[in-house]
Structure 1
Amino acid sequence: MRYKGLDLNLLLALDVLLEVRNVSRAADRLGLSQSAMSAALARLRYYFDDELLVVEGRRMHPTPYAEQLASHVRECLVATDTLLATSRAFDPATAERTFRIIGSDYVIASVLVGVARRLADIAPGIRLEFILPEETAAGRLDRGELDLMISPPEFLLPSHPMEELYVETHVIAGWRDNPIFQKPLTEKGVFSAGHVAVSLGTHRTTTFGDRQIELLKYDRRIEAVVSSFMMVPWMLVGTDRLAVMHRRLAVMMADHVAITHAALPFAFPDMHEMAQYHRTRVTDIGLQWLISQIREAAAR
């Protein structure tokens, strides 16, 4: 399809080229031959009367004009995706759609697995693609590559809508045979034990729970640091170590691993799990339906 003389398929090619900055990789991403991608770049250069990408050394770099175009092209593609995904009616029983969701392994295991199980019955044509968070997650949401990001608000973007899904509390978890659980927990007892902490991603981002412990000025003896929430229970079994865990995850994992949990013996703030989506998706009734399903699963 052409609009004002431009083949709109070329916008997708330009978006990918500006992201990967390599003709061969862009061709692989779009399932095209290298010669076809080179031809697309040539047509884009002719239409915009600009080189768009220039070779310097072994890499391609966008021209100043291409950098100006990049955000507009991405917004155009996101808006087009929204247009195609939006209808006046959404019937989950017959809908055929993929939702891409970024959430931690805690969110996936304790809430989203239940959503997937329910959708298998009521929405068999809906496909959920779960992606673990990493440093580029916010950028991917901003570019419209994701449908939903689930996270505490401090990790979300202020430029896109967000809404609360549920409130999570934290507990102290440990091995089921740890003698500390044979009597009421005390603050002194908790912090005299060794602890397991969680740091996420290559930049070792501190989690909400561990960050709150730091802000409360408690001195913990960290004996192990793991890179996912699901690894924590396995580090507790057979030891006297403790961990601050999400209550939902601790309850679920107690059915599979020999751990138990108890209420924190000191004041601790609740964690608010939020859903964030691109600002162009506010009227996407399919996405709003999915958010309602996640909220109901968390409540259950």
Structure 2
Amino acid sequence: MNLSGPAMSRTLGRIREAFGDPILVAAGRKMVPTPHALELQARIHEIVGTASELFRPENPIDLAAMEPQFTIRTNDLFIGAFGMALLGRLQTKAPRCRLRFAPDGDDDLDMLREGRIDLYIGATIALRPEIRTQALFDLTFQVLARAGHPIFETTITPQSLVAHGHIVVSRRSQWIGPIDRVLGEMGLSRTIALVVPTYYSMIETLRFSDMIMPVPDIVARNLPLETIGLKVFDLPFPIEPVTLFQAWHPRHDRDFVHRWLRQEVLATARNARPIGEG
């Protein structure tokens, strides 16, 4: 801020008076923000970002002359199904564009707020009201099993589904999911023998097992099933689809390059699966 020590002290004093809060307090040899200051941080960041937009030139931006780099937090489902297609679309207009995918985690909201990621793409994050979202498409579930699995010998029913061990995908290592809630309403429960963090982690070895693995249909659709010795079947009961969405901080609402990124993500996803398609 290019202020002397006394000037900084006077400025901090005015800020404290305006907000009715110490804002910064001593902790040993350093100053740390108060809880109220931390609450204000995200809002002030947004206000500063909005004000910065006023000084952006209105002239069209030449994407071909730029070297944009984006960081997107998402899971292996989106990366495997859309990663290369998205990069291809981006590089059509910005040949030197680079794309970095990072695994989703428990601090996704903070990463968006602090500008450490450009987008979050997923279905499970608990969002705050200020975060912008846009639906991409709906996921329905199917089940993978090895070719020749005993489940294919008769009509597949809820009872035959729970007669075999299941592999569940959960990045948070949860045993129970939407399928279990539906089964519970029918008085049934399944045996979950294995929980894994990613959708593609068990694909290669599933063909050597009699376990079965529910996956979003877009995973099964992008696999060479016959080549890897797997077959897919529909769940023998209806289940609510899950909506995949992209999320961003509102400071990017009017940013031309970020808006272009969001448009390309939407176009890439909808070309593969229009919203509302089951």
TM range (shorter): 0.7 to 0.9
When normalised by structure 1's length, the TM-score is 0.72
When normalised by structure 2's length, the TM-score is 0.77
User: Hey, what does 1:260 align to over in structure 2?
Assistant: 231
Cα distance change on mapping 1:111 and 1:64 into 2, 3 Å: closer
Q: Which runs of 5+ in 2 are unaligned?
A: 14-21, 273-278
User: How much does 1:296 deviate?
Assistant: 2.6
CA distance in 2, matches of 1:171, 1:44: 61
Cα distance change on mapping 1:55 and 1:116 into 2, 3 Å: same
Deviation per residue, 1:152-209 (Å, 9 max, x gap): 26633332221111122211112234232355422222111100012214xx357xxx
The answer to whether the Cα contact below 8 Å between 1:237 and 1:258 also exists between their aligned partners in 2 is yes
Deviation per residue, 1:18-47 (Å, 9 max, x gap): xxxxxxxxxxxxxxxxxxxxx9x9985674
Task: Supply the AA of the counterpart residue of 1:219.
Answer: S
CA distance in 2, matches of 1:44, 1:287: 35
User: Hey, what does 2:114 align to over in structure 1?
Assistant: 143
User: Hey, what does 1:228 align to over in structure 2?
Assistant: 198
Task: Supply the AA of the counterpart residue of 1:48.
Answer: L
CA distance in 1, matches of 2:180, 2:6: 55
User: Hey, what does 2:75 align to over in structure 1?
Assistant: 104
The answer to whether the Cα contact below 8 Å between 2:143 and 2:214 also exists between their aligned partners in 1 is yes
The answer to whether the Cα contact below 8 Å between 1:167 and 1:272 also exists between their aligned partners in 2 is yes
CA distance in 2, matches of 1:168, 1:149: 17
The answer to whether the Cα contact below 8 Å between 2:71 and 2:102 also exists between their aligned partners in 1 is yes
The answer to whether the Cα contact below 8 Å between 2:42 and 2:113 also exists between their aligned partners in 1 is no
CA distance in 2, matches of 1:198, 1:88: 47
Cα distance change on mapping 1:127 and 1:189 into 2, 3 Å: same
The match for 1:297 among 262, 268, 272 is 268
User: Hey, what does 1:26 align to over in structure 2?
Assistant: none
Q: In the alignment, is residue 219 of structure 1 matched against residue 219 of structure 2?
A: no
Decide which moves more: 174-183 or 138-147: 174-183
CA RMSD between the two structures: 3.4
The match for 1:116 among 65, 76, 87 is 87
Total equivalences in the alignment: 258
User: Hey, what does 2:12 align to over in structure 1?
Assistant: 48
Identity percentage over the alignment? 22
The answer to whether the Cα contact below 8 Å between 1:169 and 1:270 also exists between their aligned partners in 2 is yes
Decide which moves more: 223-232 or 257-266: 257-266
The answer to whether the Cα contact below 8 Å between 1:172 and 1:264 also exists between their aligned partners in 2 is yes
User: Hey, what does 2:170 align to over in structure 1?
Assistant: 199
Task: Supply the AA of the counterpart residue of 1:229.
Answer: Y
Cα distance change on mapping 1:69 and 1:275 into 2, 3 Å: closer
User: How much does 1:269 deviate?
Assistant: 1.4
CA distance in 1, matches of 2:51, 2:257: 15
Q: How does 1:3-82 map to 2 (within 5 A)?
A: 6-7=1-2, 47-49=11-13, 52=24, 54-56=26-28, 61-63=32-34, 66-67=37-38, 70-76=41-47, 78-79=49-50
Deviation per residue, 1:126-150 (Å, 9 max, x gap): 2222121111111221333322111
User: Hey, what does 2:259 align to over in structure 1?
Assistant: 288
Q: Highest relative contact order (Cα 8 Å, sep 6+), 1 or 2?
A: 2
Q: Which runs of 5+ in 1 are unaligned?
A: 1-5, 11-38
User: How much does 1:283 deviate?
Assistant: 1.9
The answer to whether the Cα contact below 8 Å between 2:207 and 2:229 also exists between their aligned partners in 1 is yes
Higher helix share: 1
CA distance in 2, matches of 1:232, 1:83: 50
